[in-house]
Each structure stands twice: as C-alpha cells, then as structure tokens.
A and B are shown apart, each in its own frame.
Chain A
Amino acid sequence: MTIRQRMTLLIILTFLAISSIGGYAVFQSRGSAAAVKQVTEGVVPSALASADLVAQLKEVQLATLALVFEPDPKLVAQSRDKLTARKALLKDALDLQARQADGAAQRGLVEQAKESLANYFAAIDETTKFKLAAQADMAQAYLFASVAMYQAELEVIVETLRIEKNRSKDAAISGLNASLATTTAALTAVTVVAVILLSLIGTLLYRQITRPISRMQLMMSEIAASQDFTRRVPVDRMDEIGRSIVAFNAMIAKIQESSAQLRQKTADIQTMLQNMPQGILTVTEGSRIHPEYSAYLETILETRDIVGRDLMDLLFSDSHLGGDSLAQIAAAVSACIGEDVMNFAFNEHLMVGEIEKTMADGRVKILDLNWSPISDEAGTTVRLMLCLRDVTELRKLAAEANEQKRELAIIGEILAVSQEKFHEFLAGAMKLIDENEQTIRLLPQSNAFAVAQLFRNMHTLKGNARTYGLLHLSNIVHAAEHSYAELRKPEPALAWDQRRLLEELAEVKAVVDRYARINEVSLGRKGPGRRGNAERYLMVDKEHIQESLHRLETVNTGNLHELVTVRDAVRRTLRLLGTEKIAETLSPLIESLPSLAKQLGKAAPAVRIEDGGYVVHNQASSVLRNVFTHLLRNALDHGLETPAQRLALGKAAAGTIRLQVGRDAGMLQIVLSDDGWGLALERIRGIAIENGLIAAEDPLADEEIARLVFRSGFSTAASVTEVSGRGVGMDAVQDLVKREGGGVVIEFSDSAVGAEFRQFRVVVSLPASYAVDVDGDDADLAYRADQPLLAPIEAGGGATERQVA
C-alpha cells in the first residue's frame, strides 16, 4: 500500500467516522425533536387546556347563575344566549380533551366528564326552561338541586382530568429529558470510540510512513558519513519510500561508479607519476613544491627531500645560473602563480629551459626544463608544472655526433684527394708551418719583412688547402692568416705577441697533424703511395662517408634513441674505415700459387678462405702478406703431395689449403691447414739431430718435435728448392708475428700420437685490433670522442714479450 493510499484510507476512515457520528446525532436529534414537539404541542397544551376546562365550567356556572337570577325578563333571553355560548365553549373544550386524551385513564375520565356534562347541561336546560317560564323559584330550586349537583360532579371529574393531564405532561417531559441524556451519552461514546480508533489507525499509518523514512535517512547518513558506496539501503516495499530508496540506491551506484572512475584516474595518474622516466613537479603559491611529484624526480635530483621545498633552493642551487638569472626566475614564478594565466605568457621567457646542475658528488647534470601553468576555471594560474628531463647523456651524444661529423668531414675531404697529392700537400704544409714557427721564434718584435713572409706562407697553405677542398683546415688557417694580415697594416689592431702567434700556429699544426693522422692511421694511406695506383677505399667508400655525414647532419639531437642509432652506425662505418677482406689482402699471394705449384711439379691448390666476417686493417696488410707468403709456400712445398702421389693416396690431384679467421682469447687468429701429408715428425727429428739441435736419444713428444721447426735455421726441405727452404723458415714467421705482439703455434688435428706424419694446423695469433668484425660491435674498439678514431696499431718492438708460441 502506498503512502498516498494510506493517507487516503486515513482520510476516508476519518470521514466515515465523522459521518456516522453526525448521522447518528441527526437521527437522535430528530427523535428528540419529535418528542419535544409531542411535549410542547401535545402534552403541555393539553395540560393547559385541562386547566381551561375548569375555567369554562366556571363560566357556564356563572352564566347559568346570571340567567337564573336575572331579574329583568327582557334580559333573560340575552342571558340564555350567553349561557348557550358558554355551554358550547365548554363542550368544545371537552371535545378537545377527548381528542387529546392520552391513555385509557384519560379517555375514561373524558368519557365520564362527557356523561357528567350531558347531565349537567340537561339540568341547566331544565333550569332555563323554568326561568323562561318565569318560574324563577323553580328555576332557582332546580339550580341548587340538580345543576349544582351535576356541576359538583363535573368539577370533580374535570379536576381529576387536569391532574391526570399534568401527570402525563410531567411524565412526557421527564421521558424527553431521559431520551436527550441517552442521545448525548451515545454520541459521546461513539465519538470517543471513533477518536480512539482513528488515533490507532493514524498512529499505525504514521509509523508505517515515518519508520522507513527515518531508517532510510539513517542509512543515507551512514553511507554519506562512511563514504562506503558499496552499501545499499534495503528495499522491502514499493511505495513512494521504496521508490525513493531505489532512486537513492541508483544514485549511490552512480556515485560508486564515478568514484571508481575517479579512483582509477587517480591511480592512473599515480602510476604515471611513479613510472614515467621524467621528473614532474608542481609549484604552489610561495614557490613551494607540491607533495605530488613523479618518482623519477628523485632520481634526477638525487634527493628525496622534495615536498614543501622552495623551488629555487631545490632546483637552482648549485646550478650554473647567476644571481640575477635566479632572481628573475623567482620573480617570474611568483608573478604567475595566483594571477591570470596571461602572466605566464608575459614571463615565460624568463623561466630557463636548461640548467647545468652540480650534484653532491661533483657530477654535472644537464637538465631540460619545461614550464606550464595549471589554471582553474577562472583562468587563474593555481600552480606551475615543471617537467624535468636529464639530457646529460643526450647532450654528450650530440657532442659525440658533432665530433664524428667533423671527423667524417675531414675523412671525406682527405678521400677526395689522391694519396700522392695529399702526401705532397702534407709535406708542403709542414714545411710552411715550420718556417713560420722559426720566424716567429726568432723575432721578439714585429718586422715588416718577416710578417710578409708569415702571411705569404699561411696564404699559400690556405690556398693549397682550398684547392684540395680541405675546408676544415682552411678555416683554421684563415684565422692565422687574418692575424698576419692585421699585423701588416700600418697601424695594426694586434700587437706582436710571440706567445699568442705561436699558440695560433700550434692550432694550425694540430689540425694538419689531425689530417695526417686520419690519413695514415684511419685510412692507411701512409707515404706517397705508388704513382698511378688506383685509389682503393677498401671497405668504406666515399658514398659511405657521405651517407654517414648526411645521417649525422639530419639526426634529431633531441632524440636519445635516434642519436644512439646514428652514432653506432657511424661508429661502425668509421671502424670499417681502412679495412679489407683478408682474401683481398692475400690476393697477390693466392694469385701467384698456380705458377709456384707448377715450378714444384704440383697441381694448383684450391685456397678456401673462411674469414668469419672479419676484415683486416690495411696497416696489417704487409705483415699478413709476409707471414702468409711463408706459410702458403710451406704448405705447397712441404705439405701437398704431387698429383701422382695424391691420386695414389685416393685424394684429388689438386690439394686444398684452408684459411680460417676468428677471434679467441682476445686475439685475432688465422688458422692455416692443408690436406697434404701432414707434419713429417720423423724427418724433423732426424734433421734436428743432424743439426745438433737435439741429441739422438732425447725422448721428445710430438709437440716438442713440432716446435723444432721454429728454431733458427731449421729447414726440412729435401733440397733447397726455388720456393722455400732458403734459410728463411718458420723462425722468420715467428719473428715477424712476435714483433707485432702475436705468436704462432702448430697444433695437431689428429690423434695419431707418435706417427711419422701427423695432420696439423698452423695458428697465427695477432692483436685483435688488426681486424674488425663487420657486424659486431667490438667493445674493445669502441670509439671515444676524446681519442683518435682507431688506436694506432702497436709497433712490434714493445710487444715482443707477449709470447704466444
């Protein structure tokens, strides 16, 4: 039942109660009115009329007396008429009583009175007759005898009737009173009952309405206070309250959803702040740092003491900024917060975008700062947001890329000039620089002739540099030339300052040296080269250099990833500069093998080179060629059999020589093997005994015997052939390799211990820097901006103690 229905019911019940009470009251009052009417219109007038009856009787008596005692005969008739009228009135009065008689007693009395009245009137009529007959005495006598008697009788009856009427009237009044009292009592009772009933029903309904409302209110208050939006107010009825609760629950569900979204958003922001690799903070009024900031900020600033700190203190202390800049930043920040956002636009240019901040341990970090205002709905800046990035690494890489760019530019310039011409240029440049240096050293003060000479030399050098397109160099030279030009003026702006001039010249010399070093070391173009020799750019050509330069010029210096990628690519290019495949290096030797084989009566061997992706620096070319000249000849001469011998052994007529390149134990290793006889251990032992290198009875292991071939002057050739065995054997190879800091060893590749011949391989080790892995990223060869592109290959002398063999 809804509240409206309850209310309607209550009203209907109230209405019914009032109606029934009213109806009952009306009904009762009507009864009472009839009773009252009965009393007022019936009983009471009747009682009064009964009293009248006595008076009428007296009137008749008086009229009778008047008639009887009328002396004047003329007036007798008049008196008789009067009497007749009185009589009629008395009769009417009695008739009225007869009509109003109530109850048998009254009616009996009226009947008695009627009889008595008839007798009375008869007596009067007799008397009247006598009078009219002028028999006055008779009339008087009759009057006193008969009339008086009947009159007395009638008087008694009428009196009795009057008394009876009065009694009846009293009874009627008291009956009416009793009836009214009953009505009042009944009405009171009904009203009381109705009031009680209505109160009960009202209370019940009131409770049914207010209880759930107060329960709902309680629950709502609890939910509001606890903020626990998972709770719901139970719905146990579907009236207005129930629907309100449903609506309230729906609202709570919405709030729960919104608050969940809000929580999620907050969590997202927190996650972002926790994980983004960027320092984010906000500055509040008074230049204080807001408690919410990104976790990474602690990493960047290397402190956890951030919240509530003054921005200027936290960020700009120990920075490279001067006091004035700091004051401007502080004023600009203060001028923005709490003011219209336009103030941010006004003062943004004062908030620096990059600072160098010195950390507690002395490291300097370069921080990129990005400022933005956070404004409210009114357009007032409530906080300033500051995004920090540590760009130290980025700037370092950019500097590195710049350095690479310069290096590549120089390489490009050098490569554009032939080796011979470049060599000439360098020699000329050195000569000019030396001349100038001596001139300056000799002159404590300016001398027009000398200055002209200085100028001419530098001008020549610049001209040459320009001719060959050595722009970087010509720019440096230009500065020196400019100084000399100034000194030549009649009133030079510059004073003759030996030290400064020498320093300037040293700069020129350093650049020339740099070109020379790149030419010799990186590009391997030492010396004048051979005239007419085709320029070979080996693994890296001009296009490579141009491409690398282009990449460096177009790289986005703000993107760490891109910078690293380009740097590594350029580094690889630079690493490959001046390298070539080992097959290329050894090609003159390999190409000469067929004719050599012919001289030795052997089939031209197949040479299989597995370079393993390594390319060798061309500085190593001559060493490699020298070493492998010996090793390849030895293989062909001593290792491989003649075609006949090979065929007899079931081998192919032509032998195979294998070269494998790899890296092991930090050294470049080139392993040579062939499919010939193997190492003639028995013969080596014999020769060694013959040459007095060992005693005949010395018990030597195969390895020890093999090592004998490295002894000075050892040769196993049956005869000194054209090719090998000219007293330059494995000892020479070992010397060569050792001078380079490497070594050479013989390893057996079979397990035939003690056999006459054993399969073997020659392992030549050289410094790792002699070769570069084309695809690898050699950590030991990593490019460093502060070092030459390529470490110069170690001169042999100092490294001989690195024994490998």
Chain B
Amino acid sequence: MAKILVVDDSSTVRDEVAGFLKKHGLDVATAVDGKDGLAKVKADPGLKLVVCDVNMPNMDGLTMVEKVRGELGNAAINVIMLTTESSPAMKERGKAAGIKGWIVKPFKGEAVLETFRKLAG
C-alpha cells in the first residue's frame, strides 16, 4: 500500500527518484514499464501519485496514463511525467489525460519534494 509509484524503465532513474523519495520518508513503489505500472495502479488503490517516464518499452507512459484514466476509470490519481523533451503535442496529450506536471530530467529532488508530499498526501 504505497502512496507513490515511480515508473521508469531505467533502473538508474528509478533508483534515483524512488531512493530520494524514500530517503525523505515517502512511501514509494516502482514499476519497470507502462504495463507493469498499469497493473500496479490497478492492484493498489492506495496510490495517490504516479511519477512516470514517457518513453518506455511494452507500454509508453502517456498510454499508461490514458489507460489508468480510461480502463481503470481512475480520475483521482495524480500523475507527473518524467521526460527529456517537451513538445506541444505531448503537452496536449498530457493535458487531455489530466497530467499535473512535467519534470525534465535530470530530476532535482529538492525541487519536487514538497509538491510530491502534497500530491501524495
């Protein structure tokens, strides 16, 4: 029953983000791709926040979020995307999927901690 789910195919990013959040006392679970993430969101109704990479194998991040909203009908969970680029088309798609924000990598923990606490609270 974690509060935050970190979804990224790169173990480095996963460890960095999840590690940082755990170090600051947040309840964090991880998933390795969109498919895994979708399953974990479905399985754990206690999740409040998904921090999700965009480009991943099996299922990309935006598709995963769209499925969370559509298939799972979960409109409440907060989603923040991790990305290396930002295009108007991506932002448009994200907005439609009810995404709260975009974090351009590299991730800076101190900059997000307070907001994450709020979104996961």
In the complex, the chain B residue whose C-beta lies closest to that of A327 is B85
In whole angstroms, what is the CA distance A327 to B86 when docked? 9
CB <8 Å contact, A342 and B88 = no
CB <8 Å contact, B103 and A346 = yes
Least CB distance from B2 to A in Å reads 21
CB <8 Å contact, A347 and B85 = no
Which residues on the B side are within 8 Å of A286 (C-beta)?
88
In whole angstroms, what is the CA distance A339 to B91 when docked? 9
Query: Quick check: is A599 within 8 A (CB to CB) of the other chain?
Result: no
In whole angstroms, what is the CA distance A338 to B94 when docked? 12
Query: Quick check: is A345 within 8 A (CB to CB) of the other chain?
Result: yes
In whole angstroms, what is the CA distance A331 to B91 when docked? 11
In whole angstroms, what is the CA distance A346 to B119 when docked? 14
Q: What 1/0 flags go to B94-111 for Cβ under 8 Å of A? A: 000000111111101001
User: Is chain A's interface secondary structure helix, strand, loop, or mixed overall?
Assistant: helix
CB <8 Å contact, B111 and A343 = no
Given known A-B contacts A327-B84, A331-B84, A345-B115, A340 and B101 have beta carbons under 8 A apart: yes
In whole angstroms, what is the CA distance A345 to B83 when docked? 15
CB <8 Å contact, B111 and A345 = yes
Least CB distance from B82 to A in Å reads 10
Query: Quick check: is A335 within 8 A (CB to CB) of the other chain?
Result: yes
Q: How extensive is the interface on chain A, given as a class?
A: 20 to 34
Contact pick for B101, options A334, A346, A349, CB 8 Å = A346
Which residues on the B side are within 8 Å of A345 (C-beta)?
111-112, 115
In whole angstroms, what is the CA distance A339 to B84 when docked? 17
Interface residues of A in 341-358 (CB under 8 A from B): 342-343, 345-350
CB <8 Å contact, B83 and A335 = yes
Interface residues of A in 408-447 (CB under 8 A from B): none
Q: What 1/0 flags go to A59-103 for Cβ under 8 Å of B? A: 000000000000000000000000000000000000000000000
In whole angstroms, what is the CA distance A349 to B86 when docked? 16
Query: Quick check: is B12 within 8 A (CB to CB) of the other chain?
Result: no
Least CB distance from B103 to A in Å reads 5
CB <8 Å contact, A342 and B115 = yes
Interface residues of A in 254-293 (CB under 8 A from B): 285-286
Least CB distance from B5 to A in Å reads 18
Given known A-B contacts A349-B108, A349-B111, A343 and B87 have beta carbons under 8 A apart: no
In whole angstroms, what is the CA distance A328 to B83 when docked? 10
Q: How extensive is the interface on chain B, given as a class?
A: 10 to 19
Query: Quick check: is A332 within 8 A (CB to CB) of the other chain?
Result: yes
Least CB distance from A73 to B in Å reads 133
Given known A-B contacts A345-B115, A346-B112, A334 and B87 have beta carbons under 8 A apart: yes
* Most chain B beta-carbon contacts within 10 A, residue among A334, A338, A345, A346: A346
CB <8 Å contact, A340 and B100 = yes
In whole angstroms, what is the CA distance A340 to B102 when docked? 9
In whole angstroms, what is the CA distance A338 to B87 when docked? 12
In whole angstroms, what is the CA distance A346 to B104 when docked? 8
Which residues on the A side are within 8 Å of B84 (C-beta)?
327-328, 331
In whole angstroms, what is the CA distance A334 to B115 when docked? 20
Which residues on the B side are within 8 Å of A349 (C-beta)?
108, 111
In whole angstroms, what is the CA distance A343 to B108 when docked? 12
CB <8 Å contact, A335 and B115 = no
In whole angstroms, what is the CA distance A220 to B36 when docked? 66
In whole angstroms, what is the CA distance A648 to B106 when docked? 99
In whole angstroms, what is the CA distance A647 to B88 when docked? 104
In the complex, the chain B residue whose C-beta lies closest to that of A333 is B86
In the complex, the chain A residue whose C-beta lies closest to that of B83 is A331
CB <8 Å contact, A346 and B111 = yes
15 cross-chain CB contacts under 8 A: A327-B84, A328-B105, A330-B86, A331-B83, A331-B84, A332-B86, A334-B91, A335-B83, A335-B101, A342-B101, A343-B101, A346-B115, A349-B108, A350-B104, A350-B106
**Nearest 7 A/B pairs, CB to CB:** A334-B86, A335-B102, A331-B104, A331-B86, A335-B86, A343-B101, A349-B108
- Residues on B lying within 8 angstroms of A by beta carbon are 80, 83-88, 91, 100-106, 108, 111-112, 115
- Residues on A lying within 8 angstroms of B by beta carbon are 285-286, 327-328, 330-332, 334-335, 338-340, 342-343, 345-350
